[in-house]
């Protein structure tokens, strides 16, 4: 009988391994209580499969590790900076490259330089650190993503697209008050969803007409390009590298967390075309990050990022990376478990509202679900719902977003198919027992980015 499909395998083999520890249910219950039911506060030694984030958690290649030995740790003019600069220019095409310690360092500097108090920044959905830096610079973020992005069940192929009419309205109503349009590829908070080249081209036309800029959050641009290669008319068969370049070419600059797509454990940068803006950012980087030729990174880390950028653009790599996420998602879908559709680029997002309909959003169902999953198997996931959304900075009222999600985030090149199976089965078991999961109340709320350090207790 002929096979209906042929499997693919990861385009690498394993050279170094890191042991992980299985815990008992009793140990996990203790650890969870000590962590205030917040998976961010667990010790990593108590975690079996760590799907908290894909940020800084990638396995580096032998080439990247070899590059680490070539660290030029000169304070000024490190050779590795020039490798990084060339890699960024080559991959994304931006003229100026300013290194930062990670993505939020880039967001901080860019927001300070471009935003004046009273400004408006429209974007294709918020990201936690990005929006906070915009707000701290005196700006207000306005969501201009298409409505489908807020609906977990919508199968729109480009849920990262801007609502062009809404964006146009925002630009017309706020002349000279929009310093830039913030475009993310992919959109993390919507479930790792792509923006299409066609949509970004429309955004470019609007930006030109209204004399403003587009700043790209390029954190997961290769994953975005993969979805366009699969789905966007005209993109089939084009190399990922070419699609990435097309996306970047439609924008005026980027902030990048090199801890994601670029396969490094730390790092980030700003890419920017405007000479004057680049000069101002270079001035500020020495205040907050470090000299403009290291920006808070060691020379060896810049080398790892430079090599990682190249590796992230290989078609084989990105197919296997997103393919592993799809493998996990398909399994859950097969069991009827509610997840965000279509399956995203860096993780599976469980729809906690549909998973735990008996828990009101004020009792943080996604937080409760992440805790229940850890308790079941030691799999660590992350809340992406009301806790992450925080409070309105002006009114202080809690924001209750439409999306109340738990993210199972897959680190790049780290886990095997068996880890995905164990994870899927744990989600299945929690789903079977979902009526026993109880809501949480917040017992400690930090002022900024509360999801990182908040503490909770179960409601009886």
Among 124, 196, 235, 257, binds ligand F0G (CB under 6 A): 257
Q: Which two tokens stand for residue 338?
A: 């509610």
Among 48, 127, 180, 374, binds ligand F0G (CB under 6 A): 127
Binding marks (x or -) toward ligand F0G, 38..77, rule CB under 6 A?
A: ---------------x-x----------------------
| H/E stretch holding 394 | none
Query: How do 253-257 and 213-217 pair as beta strands?
Result: parallel
Asked if residue 104 binds ligand F0G (CB under 6 A), the reply is: yes
Among 268, 338, 365, 385, binds ligand F0G (CB under 6 A): 268
Identity of the residue, 188 or 423, whose beta carbon is nearer to ligand F0G in the bound complex: 188
Measured from the CB of residue 22, what is the shortest distance to ligand F0G in angstroms? Answer: 25
C-alpha to C-alpha distance for 458 and 251, rounded to whole angstroms: 46
C-alpha to C-alpha distance for 318 and 322, rounded to whole angstroms: 6
Q: Where are the alpha helices (DSSP H) in 115-196?
A: 128-136, 164-173
Asked if residue 129 binds ligand F0G (CB under 6 A), the reply is: yes
Instruction: Candidates 125-133, 194-202, 241-249, 388-396: pick the segment binding ligand F0G (CB under 6 A).
Output: 125-133
- Binding residues for ligand F0G, rule CB under 6 A, total 15
Asked if residue 270 binds ligand F0G (CB under 6 A), the reply is: no
Tokens 């229940």: give the residue. Answer: 372
Instruction: Give the number of other CB atoms < 10 A from CB of residue 436.
Output: 8
C-alpha to C-alpha distance for 138 and 111, rounded to whole angstroms: 9
Among 36, 71, 99, 103, binds ligand F0G (CB under 6 A): 103
Identity of the residue, 38 or 363, whose beta carbon is nearer to ligand F0G in the bound complex: 38
Cis check for the bond before 46: say yes or no (omega within 30 of 0).
no
Measured from the CB of residue 165, what is the shortest distance to ligand F0G in angstroms? Answer: 25
Give the per-residue SS3 of 416-460: CHHHHHHHHHHHHHHHHCHHHCCCEEEEECCCCCHHHCCEEEECC
C-alpha to C-alpha distance for 10 and 13, rounded to whole angstroms: 8
Q: Which two tokens stand for residue 218?
A: 């390029």
Measured from the CB of residue 412, what is the shortest distance to ligand F0G in angstroms? Answer: 13
Asked if residue 252 binds ligand F0G (CB under 6 A), the reply is: no
Identity of the residue, 74 or 142, whose beta carbon is nearer to ligand F0G in the bound complex: 142
Residues serving a catalytic function are: 75, 127-128, 217, 260, 384, 451
Identity of the residue, 37 or 127, whose beta carbon is nearer to ligand F0G in the bound complex: 127
Asked if residue 295 binds ligand F0G (CB under 6 A), the reply is: no
Asked if residue 193 binds ligand F0G (CB under 6 A), the reply is: no
C-alpha to C-alpha distance for 147 and 275, rounded to whole angstroms: 36
C-alpha to C-alpha distance for 82 and 2, rounded to whole angstroms: 52
Identity of the residue, 218 or 437, whose beta carbon is nearer to ligand F0G in the bound complex: 218
Contact indicator for 73, 250 with CB cutoff of 8 Å: no
Q: Which residues bind ligand F0G (CB under 6 A)?
A: 53, 55, 102-104, 127, 129-130, 184, 188, 217, 219, 257, 259, 268
């Amino acid at each position: 009988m002929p096979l209906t499909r042929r499997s693919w395998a990861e385009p690498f083999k394993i050279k170094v391994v890191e042991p992980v520890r299985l815990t008992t249910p009793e140990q996990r219950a203790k650890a969870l209580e000590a962590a205030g039911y917040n998976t961010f506060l667990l010790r990593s030694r108590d975690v079996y499969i760590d799907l908290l984030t894909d940020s800084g958690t990638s396995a580096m290649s032998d080439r990247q590790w070899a590059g680490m030995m070539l660290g030029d740790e000169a304070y000024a003019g490190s050779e590795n900076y020039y490798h990084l600069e060339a890699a960024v220019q080559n991959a994304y095409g931006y003229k100026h490259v300013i290194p930062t310690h990670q993505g939020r360092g880039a967001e901080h500097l860019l927001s300070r330089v471009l935003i004046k108090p009273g400004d408006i920044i429209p974007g294709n959905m918020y990201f936690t650190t990005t929006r906070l830096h915009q707000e701290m610079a005196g700006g207000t973020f306005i969501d201009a993503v298409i409505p489908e992005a807020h609906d977990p069940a919508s199968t729109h192929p480009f849920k990262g697209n801007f609502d062009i009419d809404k964006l146009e309205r925002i630009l017309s109503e706020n002349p000279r008050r929009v310093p830039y349009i913030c475009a993310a590829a992919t959109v993390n908070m919507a479930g790792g969803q792509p923006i299409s080249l066609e949509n970004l081209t429309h955004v470019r036309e609007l930006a030109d007409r209204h004399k403003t800029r587009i700043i790209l959050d390029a954190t997961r641009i290769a994953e975005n390009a993969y979805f366009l290669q699969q789905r966007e008319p005209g993109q089939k068969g084009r190399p990922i590298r070419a699609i990435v370049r097309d996306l970047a070419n439609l924008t005026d600059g980027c902030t990048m967390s090199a801890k994601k797509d670029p396969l490094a454990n730390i790092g980030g940068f700003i890419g920017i075309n405007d000479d004057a803006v680049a000069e101002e950012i270079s001035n500020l980087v020495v205040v907050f990050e470090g000299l403009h030729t290291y920006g808070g990174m060691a020379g060896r880390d810049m080398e790892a990022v430079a090599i990682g950028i190249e590796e992230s653009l290989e078609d084989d790599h990105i197919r296997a990376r997103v393919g592993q996420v799809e493998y996990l998602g398909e399994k859950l879908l097969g069991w009827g478990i509610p997840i965000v559709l279509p399956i995203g680029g860096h993780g599976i997002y469980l729809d906690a509202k549909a998973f735990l309909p008996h828990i009101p959003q004020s009792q943080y169902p996604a937080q409760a679900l992440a805790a229940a999953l850890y308790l079941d198997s030691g799999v660590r996931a992350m809340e992406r719902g009301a806790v992450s959304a925080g409070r309105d900075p002006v009114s202080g009222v809690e924001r209750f977003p439409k999306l109340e999600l738990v993210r199972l985030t897959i680190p790049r090149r780290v886990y095997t198919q068996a880890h995905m199976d164990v994870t899927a089965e744990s989600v299945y078991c929690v789903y079977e027992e979902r009526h026993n999961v109880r809501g949480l109340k917040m017992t400690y709320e930090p002022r900024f980015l509360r999801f990182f350090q908040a503490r909770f207790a179960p409601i009886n």
